[in-house]
């Protein structure tokens, strides 16, 4: 009997798992893959982005609410989920636009200021317990430069390389070397432009117009780094349902749901990744995160 395939997706906050690679996770779950999401922080300092829920009683109970939202999203996606236990750094006003030297200090108890070598031990322990074949995380810019996303990248890189080394973190369990490591690559110019132009061609307003027109300095074009595109359009509806479950974080009438499903499926039915570590032979480009593992 073949060993069950296992995938670990490492994310910064509850809701990130539903906006980055969620359709691919749902696809693999249907195929019988065991999928574990690791959530680094509790999202305690996140904003309430749904205007209908921006109320004092929500803010007062945000930690419990975000955990309940994560439970709901987990059930929709059919995944397992573990909390790494770090505290959300928040995102001070102007942080993304400021230079590194001018950015405001983060709270002393926050994930964004931890020592990656120390913090990675918690993730190493989970990798050794779950023994994933494939790990996904963020690139060196965090996908976008939120401090928790950048720290998620840092500890993921340390943990992926250390998990198979018996001399590193010896108290964290029996060594395990995952076969492959990927970066999520959702927001790159070619994809955004294709969807944007399709909306305009239909006489519709594009949710990406401001992004494209403003040329946000922190949005780098990384489309040439995509190595792996997984056809997951069948599961875009599941992805959207999971994202809506994070009701405090997502306006159900807002940005994330601004492109009709018909256009998404016709123009860009894949979710995209960059292969950055491979301990098995594979040929690029790929259409499966488990290429070389199956």
CB neighbourhood size of 197 (10 A)? 14
62's tokens: 């945000």
**CA contacts within 13 A on the Cβ side of 207:** 11
Both tokens assigned to 113: 């200021």
Which among 241, 244, 232 has a CA at the least distance from the CA of 272?
Answer: 232
Residue with tokens 């680094």: 40
Report the distance separating Cα 18 and Cα 78, nearest Å: 12
Dmax over CA atoms of the chain, in Å, equals 60
**Is 16 among the annotated ligand-binding positions?**
yes
Q: β-strands 180-184, 134-137: how paired?
A: parallel
> At which residue do the structure tokens 């570590």 appear?
277
| Phi, psi values for residue 156, rounded to 5° | -65, -40
User: Residue 53 burial (CB < 10 Å; 0-12/13-18/19+)?
Assistant: middle
133 is in an annotated binding site: no
Q: Cα(123)–Cα(257) distance, rounded to whole angstroms?
A: 32
Contact, 219 vs 144, CB < 8 A? Answer: yes
Question: Do the annotations mark residue 153 as ligand-binding?
Answer: no
Measured CA to CA in angstroms, residue 111 lies from 73, 101, 165, 236 at distances of: 23, 19, 25, 31
* Number of alpha carbons in the 13 Å side-chain half-sphere of residue 31: 19
Q: How far is CA 283 from CA 198, 227, 231, 293, in A?
A: 31, 10, 17, 12
Residues placed in the known binding site: 13, 16, 149
Annotated binding-site residues for Zn(2+) read: 13, 16, 149
């Amino acid at each position: 009997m073949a060993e069950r395939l296992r995938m670990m997706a490492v994310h910064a906050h509850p809701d990130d798992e539903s906006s980055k690679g969620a359709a691919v996770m749902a696809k693999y779950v249907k195929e019988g893959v065991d999928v574990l999401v690791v959530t680094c922080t509790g999202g305690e300092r996140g904003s309430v982005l749904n205007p209908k829920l921006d109320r004092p009683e929500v803010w007062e109970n945000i930690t419990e609410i975000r955990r309940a939202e994560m439970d709901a999203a987990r059930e929709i996606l059919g995944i397992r989920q573990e909390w790494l236990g770090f505290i959300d750094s928040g995102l001070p006003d102007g942080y993304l636009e400021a230079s590194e030297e001018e950015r405001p200090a983060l709270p002393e108890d926050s994930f964004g200021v931890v020592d990656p070598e120390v913090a990675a031990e918690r993730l190493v322990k989970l990798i050794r317990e779950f023994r994933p074949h494939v790990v996904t995380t963020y690139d060196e810019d965090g996908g976008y430069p939120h401090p928790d996303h950048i720290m998620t990248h840092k500890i993921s890189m340390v943990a992926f390389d250390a998990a198979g080394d018996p001399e590193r973190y010896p108290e964290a369990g029996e060594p395990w070397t995952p076969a492959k490591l990927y970066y999520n690559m959702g927001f790159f110019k070619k994809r955004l432009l294709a969807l944007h132009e399709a909306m305009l061609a239909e006489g519709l307003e594009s949710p990406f117009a401001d992004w494209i027109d403003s040329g946000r300095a922190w949005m780098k074009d990384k489309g040439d780094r995509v190595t792996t595109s997984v056809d997951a359009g069948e599961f875009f509806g599941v992805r959207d349902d999971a994202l809506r479950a994070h009701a405090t974080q997502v306006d159900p009438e807002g940005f994330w749901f601004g492109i009709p499903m018909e256009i998404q499926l016709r123009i860009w039915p894949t979710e995209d990744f960059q292969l950055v570590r491979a301990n098995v032979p594979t040929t690029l480009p790929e259409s499966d995160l488990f290429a070389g593992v199956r």
